[in-house]
Amino acid sequence: MDSKLFFPLNKSDPNEIYQPLVPRSQNLLERGIDPKPILMEVCEPMCVFWKDKLKRCEKKLEKIIKINPTKSCLYPMRDYVTCVEACV
C-alpha cells in the first residue's frame, strides 16, 4: 500500500538525466496531495460484503418505495461507508 503513496519516476528520454523537484522519498502528504482517493480505491475491495448488501437493498427498494416512500437504504449505506472509512 505504501508504494501507491509515492509518485513513480517518469523518464521520457533514457539519455536525459532526471532531476526530480521533490525527493522521491517524500510521500503524497508531504507533497500537499490528498492520498484519500487512492486509499479508497485500495480499501473498496475489502468491503465487498457491505457493498453487496447495499446493492441488494437498493434493488428491493425500487419495488418497495412505490408502496412505502419512507423506506430507505440508509443503514446499509452507513455500514458500507463505515467499512471503507475505517480502512482509510
Amino acid in the structure at residue 24 = R
Domain ranges, ordered by start, for the chain: 2-87
pLDDT score for 27: 76
- Between CA 54 and CA 26, with CA 47 as vertex, the angle to 5 degrees is 135
pLDDT in tens, 58-71: 999 999 998 999 99
Write down the mean pLDDT value for the chain: 78
C-alpha cell at 23: 525527493
pLDDT score for 76: 96
pLDDT score for 58: 95
Cβ within 8 Å of residue 22, ≥6 positions away: 31
Amino acid in the structure at residue 52 = D
Q: Is the pTM for the entire model greater than 0.75?
A: no
